[in-house]
Chain A
């Protein structure tokens, strides 16, 4: 097959390229240039592109850089800013996968005659006896990244290769070292690629959003203090609220930007019985019943029951490829927890599993 490998300059995608080559594919590497602004982490810097290019040279494969900066600004950065401005807590890495890696890049690869796009995600795709493709967790449970892939449907899965899903992270690093790749010991990227570690989220958002002063209230409406940068508060946050003197730890329970306040309360008020997910997509077909839910990239899992309650709204970008799940009339689901669970901020993604199999997922409303 003719395979285009998305190379970030990190160890995972580098080894993914090497393995695609070993599997006998005709391999080219590509780095997406997504962010033109300041960056000192993640996968956007010139240094990372240089790492990716050098790895491609060492592997003897063709290497390209595609500039998807406009798409990234439109589909990832602008919604990120809008979400924080409205009191939500977005997950830009999920949106980048949804709109850039597994839409824009897939379409570009299609147009250029590639049979598949390979990435260095720790997850597995396997064809089932009935012919459909199953997206499953990596064999390395601690490094599993299936959560950020929950938006992949059958059409996308049929065009994607995940060459390192059967390896542990340690095995990936060993493989990189064996190949003499210079990135073998490079640390994993952790942060949002367009947020600098020096300025952080506050510096980034303060240039794009008018940060407001807000009040901190108890659930009964009692004023407990004030906060600078209301929009920067996220549900579940404890530090930075200026309430550390309290007998009982206090958490942000809800952020109301229009009303200008943050509701705070003890841990008991941070729990909820259910959550509504919008923009839901399904890996295979809509599902109702018992699920395991994962609420963050490397978070713990919870048990719940899913019920489809609506068709959901139209995909946010009508020009992007329609997704099977999104059109199947199951765009909004209610997820009832078996036990009361800590709230998840609106804007966060929840991925739904049956065992190790990804069923789909959506965004908390």
Chain B
């Protein structure tokens, strides 16, 4: 990407030689991204990241088609907020953390009976992997239900969290719109893409209009260096994905088993806060999870305090979601799964990736148990 921040500074929308060099870089990147996502190059719209991709998919469809937007209760806020802002409908999830397909059918049934074309369901958005729990959602089944009960409606999937570990080209093959974001797979922050398959091509209104870039689906000068870097990161991710998954999954399972063994009151976050490794898919049973996610609740501990202590010892984890001020809120995902509020306040997500090592896991296990003990001791009178 570096040449495009220095010598190759051409604007791909221009007409001269320097511009054409940048244009070629974008076109090359588009082919790489399309190949990785199982789409045609003309289906790829480059954006500024996951939020813009999600917004463009959901609001873009609503601006063009109107109707009712539907999404699951565990979507990222980049989908949830736009859907709620258009008075959309929310599909609940099972305590397991997986979207309730029966409830989706009911919503679509009701829509097709009572709704005219104008008020019927125009888009259904269900993410491929939840960013907090790592649980894989049945997007293929969602698509087949939507195509059966609401044939005019489009299916969007937020594959931002899925891209590092899942074969998006296969798993999201039935979705009409697919969002990704580069920083989730080692690319730079502030760049992403939306797949717009032909079925959705005429159903999408641009959100940013002006220069007509990206076939008038997203105006604005291209982030050339970012796009080039994203394509390269995605290429490498796909190439190494299977090997990385095996390695990361093994480390995750080791971390999880270690936490359960070393820290009393460790609960894996699935099954409404009653999770066991089997229920959460560690043993390859139950719902499938992406390899890099370890999401747990520690009973009687506030994650806000725990993260502070972990950070002091060089272990960076996260919890819930951060609001504008930086304060942690209990996550809407755990609430939707029926995890009690008190337990949700003790939730922590450990993320592992291709660069994680065995010694990282050992270190984390060394640090977590005494930190939890310290906080529990302080809380008891």
Contacts and interface: CB of A to CB of B under 8 A. Distances in A.
A111 B378 contact: yes
Nearest to A63: B326
A177 to B, nearest CB: 26
A67 B379 contact: no
B308 A64 contact: yes
Interface string B369-381: 0000011001100
Interface in B303-343: 304-305, 308-309, 323-329
A66 B304 contact: yes
Contact of A66 (B324, B327, B329, B378): B327
B305 A67 contact: no
Nearest to A68: B327
Interface residues of A, number: 17
B325 A46 contact: yes
- Residue from B304, B326, B375, B378 whose CB has the most chain A CB atoms within 10 Å: B326
Given A64-B308, A67-B304, A110 B378 contact: yes
Contacts of A49: 325-327
Contact of A112 (B309, B323, B325): B309
Interface of B: 304-305, 308-309, 323-329, 374-375, 378-379
B375 A67 contact: no
Contacts of A111: 305, 374-375, 378-379
A246 B160 CA distance: 70
Interface string A83-116: 0000000000000000000000001101111000
A33 B325 CA distance: 8
B328 A67 contact: yes
B377 to A, nearest CB: 8
Contact of B305 (A31, A53, A69, A108): A108
A209 interface: no
A112 B328 contact: no
Nearest to B379: A111
Interface of A: 31, 33, 36, 46, 49, 53, 64-67, 69, 107-108, 110-113
A68 to B, nearest CB: 9
Nearest to B342: A70
12 contacts: A33-B325, A36-B323, A46-B325, A49-B325, A53-B326, A64-B308, A66-B304, A67-B327, A69-B327, A108-B305, A111-B378, A112-B305
A108 B302 CA distance: 10
Contacts of B324: 46
A65 B325 contact: yes
Contacts of B326: 33, 49, 53, 65
Contacts of B304: 66-67
Contacts of A64: 308
A107 B325 CA distance: 22
Contact of A33 (B309, B323, B378, B379): B323
Nearest to B322: A65
B304 to A, nearest CB: 6
Contacts of A108: 305
A31 B325 contact: yes
Given A33-B323, A33-B326, 8 more contacts: A49-B325, A53-B326, A64-B308, A67-B327, A69-B327, A111-B375, A111-B379, A112-B305
A46 B308 CA distance: 21
